[in-house]
Amino acid sequence: MGWVRLSIITIVSFLIATSGALLTKSTLLPLCGIFTSNSVTCKADIEATSLVNAATSYAQLSSCQAAIQAVTAKLRDEQNIEIVSVTKRDVSEIYSDYPKERPGGYFITMRGNQVINLLNSPQLMSILTTQIIDNCETASLVMFGFPNSDFTVPLGLMPNGTVQPFECLEVSLEELEYIEKPVWGKTFCF
């Protein structure tokens, strides 16, 4: 009986750990009859294993998610800004020479009367961006802006380890046709 119980724990741990969100304890519980005739023990094992694996997985993912949630809560609650969306971006689509070990970025779109005040506050945006970059291992860029608009303010991780607003490159639409992507630390302004 001990081997059967150990096998159930091993199988359930493997299934939960390798499946992510696709396989949950609610989908595993009906399988107890297949593994053993003692469904009470099987269900208890699944419950316990699910909780341990969920806690481990949440701890690994939560520092980034918690930082993003804290930033959006601060914008919403303290700055009275409506968060429209937070979208993960692939930095290589925007910049040619980005920090290769941190290819991710986040685009925070907002609306409300206070958004312009935020976009005019590099200090506050730097604090918020640093919070996200420090907690999201693959992030090097945070962009703040309006929905359905090209107007964004990007801030990113510089080679010296600091977070800085990107410098504005004023180009005409004609010049823009010849430039594929700006260099890291620069952004196009019109």
Residue 37 lies in a domain: yes
- Same domain for 26 and 92, yes or no, is no
- Same domain for 97 and 8, yes or no, is no
Which residues constitute the domain of residue 27? Answer: 2-59
Residue 180 lies in a domain: yes
Residue 3 confidence class, pLDDT cut points 50, 70, 90? very low
HEC-encoded secondary structure of 53-89: HHHHHHHHHHHHHHHHHHHHHHHHHHCCCEEEEEEEE
Model-level pTM greater than 0.85?
no
Buried/exposed code over 65-98 (b: 16+ C-beta within 10 A; e: otherwise): eebbeebbeebeeebebebeebeebebeebbeeb
- Same domain for 51 and 122, yes or no, is no
The mean pLDDT value for 117-121 works out to: 94
- As a whole-number percent, the residues of the chain with pLDDT over 70 amount to 66
Residue 69 lies in a domain: no
Residue 64 lies in a domain: no
- Same domain for 51 and 96, yes or no, is no
Q: What is the pLDDT of residue 22?
A: 42
Q: In the numeric block, which tokens belong to residue 38?
A: 């003692």
The mean pLDDT value for 52-68 works out to: 66
